[in-house]
A and B are shown apart, each in its own frame.
Chain A
């Protein structure tokens, strides 16, 4: 049974158009996004690993070495089952630093452009053999089905379609999207077709050829030669080599790195794939023995590699034959597309860009896209050339062995990235060169029939199909030995050590806090415009700002350092880590260091530790808990505190200082002191840079009110902490200052009182003498003028006596001996008596006095003195009240206090005078109307009774009139009979 060439070509085209359709629909968003991101799709897309091995070469290998073919599947299954310790760390690094290929990873970790370039060249040569293997499988399978077809034409047409597909769906302008969903779904579809085809042919053999499991067992019993029963003993050497290459393939094969890490939708998907891919490969492996036995039973003549096609032909099923052909085609196309795409990215980043950075391009994205497309085309056409000249003469399995043993040379370096921080670039490059030279001399040249140096030199062991694995191990051993030796003997640069720490398992990078030349994000755009052009620089800086959720204009040093890192990471995804690093280093430089070392970026480390929280276990977890405890202690300290780096950058800003200043930590941590509002900036900067360690009672006006602050400072440096900087405590002394003022006021009142009493006593005697002399004068004359003068003298001396009496009363403060004479006094009665006394005067006859005090309100005190209080208060109220006004006295019992209010309807007291009304001799009345002692006296008497007095004006805010004098005195509660219960009544 054979097909026509055109029919085969048409079928191939239709299938590839179907792939195009799937990818196109996905890119257009017609296929739901959650389908594309489903772990199953991701796992199936990883099936690209199998390539045409699954459909053709595995059966060929099974015929030669029995179950040895499983090594190709078991190795990578082992790598995926070990994903948590092997693949997850690489994915973490790759995602954090946007490393899209193994060459990127090497260039980043070993800080060497040469490392990246060497990895690219090694992968390139190895991948050419792998691509040639795919082209060969497709052209041979087409030749089997349509013998008259030209294999060259088939190879060419197939390569061309693959180039088109990879160019269309592998490179896009949209740099924001990290992966290629269309490509992933198309590759997953490829893997599904491969699996279904193999299961179908396996089922067809089992039931169509052998008639079920029973028939197979009977056939196996009848054919007992090792070659037919697959009981061949596994060859230890080649099995181990294949296992190792397959294991390494998970990381070092460019297409596997691309699908596993670059197209990974989430860490969860990788966790599912850790058992999903081995399961997929298991299903691919089960039909292989059946196909082999089926081919042998049917006497198929195609050779074991192509038994799948031969069996389908022997069963005379065109549909099955076509399905097998399509399965091979899909396997080959999938691997070629992904490999060429991955390799093109590596060549672009590590060969093209280091040679020519696109400085003058208007649109760098477009330039990159087209360069990558050209590279894809060049790679596939090169593979076609390799196939036509050398590859087509080689066996599929030896092509695979050459390819995989070449990429195996990258395994030591890849493991070094996560497990060996001591490895350095010199060791890596020397080891790689040693391994690659041996690989080329002993495997590539002899098997490609180019040159067999070992044969010419008469070496005891000449490479052939049975001992290739020995040379694989020799090259790998040389690689590892040289890598280890040179790494141990040579020294690593600081930059390399820091990258090694960043890549090591569980390690944190410890960046230094250095000052950037750029002082704002706008400076970033200006500085990056030089290599990238203004438009691209602006877009990249804005993208990085958006990713970090920063405002569009950023000036804080800490955030600028984060921005610089993010710009480098983004450029790394675009241009590769080496070019990105050089560009950022050159154009976003740091200021020269002012001294030997710089401080660590505490905030950066803290943030990273915060991200690590769930991963820290054991001692590290305990230390982290301790760190959190101390951090919380500082944060919650009830004293405002902040710490400042040597360069004036704010490193810590606790809750209390947030409350005091009204500035949140998020706004200022990582910024310099100069970023604070002016008054705080001047205060803290001046204090921080000054010599004094303490500053007391510094006055600072905040929101129009004075605040008094004590500042204390201590240096942070010490034997365990070489970094400079200081911690500043800010004590708010405002409350204490106000209390002190109040105390001083009271003292002044008291001293004035004592002075007044002394003066009054001294003046009293002469005044009494004057009054007596005036009385005598009246008795000794009848002259009416002199009599009148004497009366006036007496009147004035009485007035002086009244004033003196008031002064004497005022001075009687704090006489606690009187407390014992205190008796319960009814406030209502006191107020009534005062009103009566005032009514005797001829002033204010039109004023209404209203006494609303309850009868029950009592305090313990001196009734006569309390009457004095109310007389003074009511007299003041009367003087201020308009004609016909009313004065109301109210009282209430408030817990243990009696609150008495005297409210008038007068003009009130101006607010600037409120603070002075209780001062002696302070009066607003006319000179001969008041002494200015009334309220001072009231104040003293109330204090004597352990109370206080407040004045409120205006009493009626709506009208702006009235004054309310509020007395608060301890209330007296008479003991009732109920409270004096006898002890025995309680029970």
Chain B
């Protein structure tokens, strides 16, 4: 159960700071597509985690 509490805290933190994170992504000077690049990076991490996951893992 311990790991789920950590995940919960992490998700809560990301959620609370998400407007600031988005503001940072879209700050002037960045290309218009930079939020999408960061988003694609997150998807890549998700893909990698799924790819290396043991099929029996919970």
Contacts and interface: CB of A to CB of B under 8 A. Distances in A.
Interface in A278-298: 278-279, 282, 285-286, 289
Contacts of B8: 419
A272 B50 contact: yes
Interface of B: 1, 4, 7-8, 11, 14-16, 18-19, 22-23, 25-26, 28, 32-33, 35-36, 39-40, 42-43, 46-47, 50, 53, 55-58
Which of B1, B25, B50 counts the most chain A CB atoms within 10 A? B50
Contacts of A220: 32
B56 to A, nearest CB: 4
B36 to A, nearest CB: 5
Contacts of A234: 19, 22-23, 26
Interface in A174-233: 216, 220, 229-231, 233
Given A82-B7, A234-B22, A243-B15, A282 B43 contact: yes
18 contacts: A67-B25, A67-B26, A74-B39, A77-B39, A77-B42, A81-B43, A88-B58, A229-B32, A233-B23, A239-B22, A240-B16, A274-B46, A278-B42, A278-B46, A282-B36, A282-B40, A282-B43, A506-B58
A68 B19 CA distance: 9
Given A233-B23, A240-B19, A84 B58 contact: yes
A275 B15 contact: no
A44 to B, nearest CB: 16
B46 A271 contact: no
Contacts of B46: 81, 274-275, 278
A78 B22 CA distance: 14
B15 A244 contact: yes
B7 A67 contact: no
Contacts of A279: 40, 43
Contacts of B1: 505-506
A85 B4 contact: yes
B57 to A, nearest CB: 8
Interface in A597-616: 614-615
Given A81-B42, A275-B46, A615 B22 contact: no
B28 A274 contact: no
B26 A230 contact: yes
Contact of B18 (A81, A239, A274): A239
A243 B16 CA distance: 10
A70 B22 contact: yes
B31 to A, nearest CB: 9
A272 B55 CA distance: 12
A569 to B, nearest CB: 22
A243 B43 CA distance: 17
A701 interface: no
Given A66-B26, A282-B36, A275 B4 contact: no
Contact of B32 (A81, A230, A268): A230
Contacts of A82: 7, 11
A236 interface: yes
Contacts of A505: 1, 4, 58
Contacts of B28: 231
Nearest to B58: A615
Contacts of A239: 18-19, 22
Given A220-B32, A268-B55, 6 more contacts: A67-B26, A78-B14, A82-B11, A234-B19, A275-B46, A615-B56
A839 to B, nearest CB: 86
Contacts of A268: 55
A282 B39 contact: yes
A286 B36 contact: yes
A148 to B, nearest CB: 39
B29 to A, nearest CB: 10
Contacts of B53: 84, 271
Contacts of B47: 275
A274 B8 CA distance: 18
Contact of A271 (B19, B23, B43, B50): B50
The main secondary structure of chain A at its interface with chain B is: helix
A624 B19 CA distance: 46
A274 B47 CA distance: 8
Nearest to A615: B58
A289 B32 contact: yes
A240 B18 contact: yes
Q: Nearest 8 A-B pairs (CB), nearest first?
A: A614-B56, A275-B46, A275-B47, A236-B19, A81-B46, A615-B58, A234-B19, A278-B43
A282 B23 CA distance: 18
Contacts of A68: 22
Interface in A608-631: 614-615
B50 A243 contact: no
Nearest to B7: A85
Nearest to B33: A286
Contacts of A74: 18, 39
Contacts of A85: 4, 7
A220 B32 CA distance: 9
Nearest to B31: A217
Contacts of A615: 56-58
A236 B20 CA distance: 8
Nearest to B32: A289
Contacts of A247: 15
A234 B1 CA distance: 35
A70 B35 contact: yes
B36 A78 contact: no
A422 to B, nearest CB: 13
Contacts of B39: 70, 74, 77, 278, 282, 285
Contacts of B35: 67, 70
A268 B53 CA distance: 11
B58 A67 contact: no
B40 to A, nearest CB: 6
A78 B8 CA distance: 12
B25 to A, nearest CB: 8
Contacts of B50: 271-272, 274-275
Nearest to A280: B43
Contact of A231 (B11, B26, B42): B26
Nearest to B39: A282
A289 B4 CA distance: 36
Nearest to A285: B36
B41 to A, nearest CB: 11
A229 B26 CA distance: 10
A78 B11 contact: yes
A220 B22 CA distance: 20
A566 to B, nearest CB: 24
Contacts of B11: 78, 82
Which of B7, B14, B16, B32 counts the most chain A CB atoms within 10 A? B32
Contacts of B22: 67-68, 70, 234, 239
A419 B4 contact: yes
A74 B26 CA distance: 15
A505 B8 CA distance: 14
A877 B35 CA distance: 110
A236 B22 CA distance: 10
A282 B33 CA distance: 11
Interface in A384-432: 419
Given A230-B32, A614-B56, A275 B23 contact: no
Contacts of B32: 216, 220, 229-230, 289
A594 B3 CA distance: 43
A224 to B, nearest CB: 9
A862 to B, nearest CB: 76
A81 B48 CA distance: 11
A419 B7 CA distance: 12
A70 B36 CA distance: 10
Contacts of B57: 84, 615
Nearest to B8: A419
A275 B43 contact: yes
A485 to B, nearest CB: 20
A236 B47 CA distance: 29
A46 to B, nearest CB: 14
A419 B58 CA distance: 15
Contacts of B15: 240, 243-244, 247
